[in-house]
A and B are shown apart, each in its own frame.
Chain A
């Protein structure tokens, strides 16, 4: 079975500092996609960053970057220059397609608090 594990239920970081959220997954698939979603207090799920498994280069979106280690099945999110608006729940997600069926699996989330 495919699983996604986020081992840090809660984290905090000082404003302007850098924080890394961890995510590991388990799959026997070779082609898949990985995502980080942010859920602020408004509860709207917002895509932060995505990574295709076939790409070796780590994805980057402004202050957000990932460290994708395919062999280790690890997909951590680094937030640089943390801002108060980054306070949110962060979910790691995995997507694969088997015989035309698309399946998304989410981790249990990491609650990040950015401190002023």
Chain B
């Protein structure tokens, strides 16, 4: 089945450590996105990538880094520079090109990151 997978589902990190969240899709989508969700708030865009080997900062990129070496994969690294990393992280993808039904974002199941 086609879809988006994120791993792990729950992640614990000690302060000062970097940690990488995985996001893989087999939908053949061009674009991929990372969002952060905090309680009582909507989704905030961290980074997005429209095509392989290219990515742009979203609204809250500080303390995060990404790579897009393969079309299927868009890992997110939460660095020690991120002041308040405890949150729920959602990965999404879309086909990028504006045509019927290609603009819709599809989401993975999310990763809950907790800093101890």
Contacts and interface: CB of A to CB of B under 8 A. Distances in A.
Contacts, number: 52
Contact of A43 (B40, B41, B50, B110): B110
The interface residues of chain A, by DSSP majority, are classed as: strand
B39 to A, nearest CB: 10
Given A44-B109, A97-B98, A101-B56, A106 B43 contact: yes
Contacts of B104: 35, 47, 50
19 contacts: A4-B42, A33-B103, A35-B105, A43-B109, A43-B110, A44-B110, A45-B110, A47-B105, A50-B103, A91-B42, A91-B43, A95-B105, A97-B98, A102-B31, A102-B50, A102-B96, A103-B45, A107-B42, A108-B40
Interface of B: 31, 33, 35, 40-43, 45, 48, 50, 56, 88, 90, 92, 94, 96, 98, 103-107, 109-110
